[in-house]
Chains A and B, each alone.
Chain A
Amino acid sequence: MVAVGLTVLTGLIIFALLGKDPILGFQVFFVYPLRSLYGLSELLLKATPLALIGMGLAVGFRAGIWNIGAEGQFLFGAVFATGVALYLPSITGVSLLVMVFAGILGGMAWALIPAWLRARFHTNEILVSLMLVYVAQLFVSWLVFGPWRDPRGFNFPQTEMFDAAWLLPTLLSGSRLNLAFALTLIVLVIGHILLAKSYYGFSIRVAGESPTAARYAGLSERRNIYAGLLIGGACAGLAGMAEVAGPMGQLTDKASVGYGFAAIIVAFVGRLQPLGIGLAALVMALFFLGGEQAQQYLNLPGSISRVFQGLLLFYLLAADVLVQFRLVRTPPQTKGAT
């Protein structure tokens, strides 16, 4: 809470420094997006992938597995979903189910690479998963500039629009909020049961808290690595699927908007707890929307929302350190004997 408050405060100072009225800035950023029902539905729409990915990452983080490549797993979920949408015959009902599995599979496939490398060769999953994000981004670019480009798309780097059978149904008429939101709520509930109630979740937490205790108790390190990365990959892949089959309706080279990275902040701001992740996703979604509003009304660059995301994580970590430790001035070292 302190972190959120400080973030807002710093935001106001930034607005002032940029020559904008801080009060107006605050209103544009945090109030305008919430003025209408449509605005609220947009907020939930943005929060959906954040919460979904954040939940998957939180499981990995609890296990001490640092998957920061959710953006790449998100893209591969989108790629697999697009693949089935473009090449399989559409059957209402069945299509969606197939696509959900394709998305999950895509994300897991991309997460499998760092998992296997870590389990087999002890490579660092932070580096491998991060670098694979860039591979995934370039792969998506190649697809939409090359084989998957819409022949009637005026040479824009995008695929054909999906057939209606391959689109997630909206939950609220007149809005873009879709079935993925409901799926996310279910995933959060499952996440809660997994982490707080199940033995499997217990073994994941043991491994994250103390690898030596996990080894002593006979919990498999290898299984922990795979679980930590694949669960994160599955959630990110599902979110990627929901993005192309939801608001976008096609795969473009702009599919990657940074949800995978923002979700890392969501996971930590949410204290790696499902409920917290849901709330944190709403806050982060507000930053995304506020950033767009700030562009429209205040002539501020869109990266302002990134600034807010960064500030939030920074203040959260700083607050954590200051809660646990106290700053002490060390006296200057005295030299020589007495």
Chain B
Amino acid sequence: MKPPVPRLQLQGLTKAYPTLVANDQISLTVEAGEIHAILGENGAGKSTLMKMIYGVTQPTAGQMFWEGTPVSIGSPAIARSLGIGMVFQHFSLFESLTVAENTSLSLGSSHTPSSAAQALQQAAARYGLEVHPEKFIHDLSVGERQRVEILRCLLQDPKLLILDEPTSVLPPQAIEGLFAMLRRLASEGCSILYISHKLQEIQQLCDRATILRAGKVVAECRPQEETAASLAALMIGRDTEPLPKRPPAASAKTIFAAEGLTLLSPDPYGTHLDNISFTVPQGTILGIAGVSGNGQRELLWALSGETRCPSPEMLQLHHEPIGHRGPAARRRLGMSVVPEDRLGTGAIPAMSLEENGLLTAVYTQPMVRHGLVDQKATHAFAQKCIAQFDVRCSGAQALAGALSGGNLQKFIVGRELLQTPQLLVCSQPTWGVDVGAAALLRRAIQSLAEQGSAVILISEDLDEILEVSDEVAVLFEGKLSPPMPASEASPERVGLLMAGVWQQQTHTGASTTSTSHRAGDGTRAASS
């Protein structure tokens, strides 16, 4: 007897892009009937790895073995023919078609909608699920849609099912159901690759876990034998010690405050903000950590004014309610914002740096005279920004789209900092920026705070938060943990908060009812 052949084996799988190595020498083994977790922060390379297994992208080096034979998976069609199914985080269903029609589309010409409906019913019965083939997708809840996606994969009798953060869209009650179904699938011999950064789930569900950090496998473990804290430490990495802190400014004036900020996300897949309160005094950098998708976008929109708050008092600048004001008014009051998305939001690719400077600096700099743009002023401002922030480009006339991501980011952050705002809100200011430039930007943000401004830094990069901030809070599922001084924030402690662990200690019945009531108010205000 030979030992059982592993279902999937990866050896030294590498995916290198021109500017970065997304996956570096990944090796892992998935046994038959095993639920295997891939754990890592955003940007650790989880998605790239899954895309290679599912044939969406091709590795630049390394070898994959499927049930012992070497394979190269050139396309998702090949992956499906091998028996690999994948459920993406964002569903690929046609909203205007029924469940059965969607299913028959993915099964190909051999199935009509009615035979697909039958097959669906049988599969659903086997796994104890409920499904209505005749319903239209747009009538289904997110959980139901996910069930359709999963069932659709199951109809192809997969031997390996890849799930990309399946619970990120599910309410807590639905998660238990999903887990039961996955365990049942695994007991029938189907292997499951489960991608997540939620530690508790992985401990509940998975037999083994492979932990990725910065594109490399850093550990392999049995989650049940680990604690949430030890998993978090593995995921985030301890190798970077926080730098010594500047002394906190004593008894400073409050510049900005959020009081009970509650807001429904305009995006149906978004996260609602739930009763967020904090204050930022003069000269302070508040770092808001958390894995993206927990309300970061919504919080940024609320702070910038792109979405208005249901009540003006929810946000206060210099004790003045500003929740009802739009971005232009807030900028005139001394706010600046660095958005998460640099190309398309922070800058317009088809416009020159001069014009991109004008985009937001117009509110604080004398750039418009008698309704006409003062081209000397915009040129001078762009030049200053290019010189001071070491933006590598062909000149102030260069199109924003022609700059590399890091240089454009330097320009955008520079544009906002040169306006010396009272309050700077920045999201992912150093995302995708090389190490030297990132240090320059962080230093510039810190020196803004030293001049007495307040800064809110929203970032997924925990090292960055710990290095720069004076106070640290964590955004999880639309709620903000109580801010703590940076001196008390260790990677382990923040890592636990990022997995939502503080909720269990502070969660009480009373607070849930009051927040749901507030959320209702939010809907009415937003729709009126």
User: Contact string, B323-351, partner A, CB cutoff 8 A, digits 1/0?
Assistant: 00011111100000101010011111111
Cβ–Cβ contact B74 & A216, under 8 A: no
* Further contacts, 16 of them, CB under 8 A, given A336-B78, A337-B71, A338-B72: A197-B372, A198-B371, A199-B358, A199-B368, A202-B355, A206-B359, A209-B350, A210-B344, A210-B349, A213-B345, A216-B337, A217-B328, A218-B329, A220-B326, A335-B81, A337-B81
Kindly state whether residue A215 has any CB partner on chain B within 8 Å: yes
Question: Which residues of chain B in 354-372 are interfacial with respect to chain A, using CB atoms and an 8 Å cutoff?
Answer: 355, 358-360, 362-363, 367-368, 371-372
- Option from B71, B326, B351, B373 in Cβ contact (under 8 Å) with A198: B373
Query: Is the C-beta of B105 less than 8 angstroms from some C-beta in chain A?
Result: no
- A204-248 contacts to B (CB < 8 Å): 205-206, 209-210, 212-213, 215-220
Most B CB contacts (10 A, CB to CB) among A210, A218, A220, A337 go to A218
Once bound together, how far apart are the Cα atoms of A36 and B297, in whole Å?
Answer: 65
Q: Which single member of B77, B331, B345 contacts A210 (CB below 8 Å)?
A: B345
Closest 4 CB pairs of A and B: A218-B328, A218-B327, A199-B368, A212-B345
Asked if residues A202 and B358 are in contact (CB atoms below 8 Å), the reply is yes
Interface hub of B75, B345, B347 (most chain A Cβ within 10 A): B345
Given contacts A206-B359, A336-B78, contact A212 B341 (CB under 8 A): yes
Alpha-carbon distance between A191 and B123 when the two chains are bound, in angstroms: 64
Q: Which residues of B contact A212 (CB under 8 A)?
A: 341, 344-345
Residue from B74, B360, B371 in contact with A334 in the complex, judged by beta carbons closer than 8 Å? B74
Contacts of A198 in B (CB 8 A): 371-373
- A residues 168-225 near B (Cβ < 8 Å) are 193, 197-200, 202, 205-206, 209-210, 212-213, 215-220
CB of A299 closer than 8 Å to a CB of B: no
Chain A contacts of B337 at CB under 8 A?
216
Contacting residue for A217 out of B359, B368, B373, CB 8 A: B359
Bound-state Cα–Cα, A109 to B328, Å: 29
Closest residue to A338 on the B side, CB-wise? B72
Flag B385-426 by CB within 8 Å of A: 1 or 0 each: 000000000000000000000000000000000000000000
- Residues in chain B near residue A209, CB distance under 8 A: 348-351
A–B complex contacts, Cβ < 8 Å, 23 sampled: A193-B372, A199-B367, A199-B371, A200-B371, A202-B373, A205-B351, A206-B351, A209-B348, A209-B349, A210-B344, A210-B348, A213-B347, A215-B306, A216-B306, A217-B360, A218-B305, A335-B78, A336-B81, A337-B71, A337-B73, A337-B78, A337-B81, A338-B74
Report whether A206 and B73 are in contact in the complex, using a CB–CB cutoff of 8 Å.
no
Q: How large is the interface on A (under 10, 10 to 19, 20 to 34, 35 or more residues)?
A: 20 to 34
Q: How far is the CA of A262 from the CA of B72 in the complex (A)?
A: 55
Taking the closest CB of chain B, its distance from the CB of A196, in whole angstroms, is: 9
Inter-chain contacts of A193 with B (CB < 8 A):
372
Q: How far is the CA of A212 from the CA of B266 in the complex (A)?
A: 14
Known: A197-B372, A209-B348, A333-B77. A216 touches B355 (CB 8 A): no
Q: How far is the CB of B62 from chain A (nearest CB, A)?
A: 16
Interface positions of A (Cβ within 8 A of B):
193, 197-200, 202, 205-206, 209-210, 212-213, 215-220, 333-338
B284 at the interface (CB under 8 A from A): no
- Partner of B327 from the list A199, A206, A210, A217 (CB cut-off 8 Å) is A217
| B82 CB within 8 Å of chain A | yes
Question: Does B282 interact with chain A (Cβ within 8 Å)?
Answer: no
Q: How far is the CA of A45 from the CA of B66 in the complex (A)?
A: 75
> Which residues of chain A are near B331, meaning CB under 8 Å?
218
Considering only CB atoms and an 8 Å cut-off, how many residues of chain B contact the other chain? 41
Residues of A within 8 A of B328 (CB): 217-219
With most chain B CB atoms within 10 A of its CB, the pick from A200, A216, A333 is A216
**Within the assembled complex, what's the spacing in Å between the Cα atoms of A216 and B330?**
11
- B-chain residues with CB within 8 Å of residue A205 when the two chains form the complex: 351
> Does any Cβ of A come within 8 Å of B14's Cβ?
no
Distance of A144 from chain B, by nearest CB (Å):
42
Contact B339 A216 (CB under 8 A): yes
Complex formed: what's the CA distance from A198 to B349 in Å?
A: 20
Find residues 65-96 in chain B having any chain A CB closer than 8 Å to their own CB: 66, 71-75, 77-78, 81-82
Contacts of A337 in B (CB 8 A): 66, 71-73, 78, 81-82
Q: Which of B82, B331, B344, B363 has the most CB of A within 10 A?
A: B344
Known: A202-B358, A209-B351. A215 touches B371 (CB 8 A): no
Q: State whether A213 and B371 are in contact (beta carbons under 8 Å apart), knowing that A199-B362, A333-B75 are contacts in the complex.
A: no
CB-defined contacts of B66 to chain A, threshold 8 Å: 337
The answer to whether A199 and B348 have CB atoms under 8 Å apart is no
Q: How many Å lie between the Cα of A338 and that of B349 in the bound state? A: 42
Q: Which residue of B lies closest to A219 (CB)?
A: B328
Q: Decide if B304 is an interface residue (CB 8 Å cutoff).
A: yes
Contact A213–B359 (Cβ < 8 Å): yes
Q: How far is the CB of A206 from chain B (nearest CB, A)?
A: 6
How far, in Å, is B347 (CB) from chain A's closest CB?
A: 7
What residue of chain A has the Cβ atom nearest to residue B332's Cβ?
A218
Given contacts A202-B355, A210-B348, contact A216 B304 (CB under 8 A): yes
Task: With both chains docked as a complex, state the minimum distance between the C-beta of B306 and any C-beta of chain A, in angstroms.
Answer: 5
A215 contacts B327, C-beta separation under 8 Å = yes
What is the distance, in angstroms, from A223's C-beta to the closest C-beta of chain B? Answer: 11
The answer for the CA separation of A193 and B373 in the assembled complex, in Å, is: 10
Inter-chain contacts of B330 with A (CB < 8 A): 218
Chain B 430-452 near chain A by CB (<8 Å), digits 1 or 0: 00000000000000000000000
- Does B326 lie within 8 Å of A199, measured CB to CB? no
Q: Which partner residue on chain B sits nearest A201 by CB separation?
A: B373
Taking CB atoms and an 8 Å cut-off, the chain B residues in 289-341 that contact chain A are 304-306, 326-331, 337, 339, 341
- Residues of chain A within 8 A (CB-CB) of B350 are 209
Cα(A114)–Cα(B72), bound, Å = 55
**B82 A206 Cβ-Cβ under 8 A:** no
Q: How many angstroms between the C-alpha atoms of A213 and B74 in the bound complex? A: 37
